[in-house]
Structure 1
Amino acid sequence: MKPSTISSFAAGLLLAAAISSVAYYVTKEDTPKAAEPATTVVTEDTNTEAVKTPTVEEMEELLASSGYVVQTKEEAEKTETQWQEKVDAAKKSASEDTESNGDVVYRTSIYVSNGMTSIDVGNALKDADIIKMSGFEFSKEVEKKGVEKYLKPGSYKIDSSMSTNKIISTIFQKQ
Structure 2
Amino acid sequence: MTSKSMRSFAGGLFVAAGICGAVYFFDTEETANTQTLEKLTVDEMKSKLTSEGYVIHTEKEYEEQLDELKSNQAVAEDKGPKEKIIYRSVLKVSKGMTSIDVGKNLKRSRIIADAKEFFDEVEKRGKANNLRPGSYVIDSEMTTEEIISKVFK
Smaller-chain TM-score range? Answer: 0.3 to 0.5
TM-score, scaled to structure 2 = 0.46
Structure showing greater relative contact order (alpha-carbon pairs closer than 8 Å, 6 or more residues apart): 2
| Higher helix proportion (structure 1 or 2) | 2
TM-score, scaled to structure 1 = 0.40
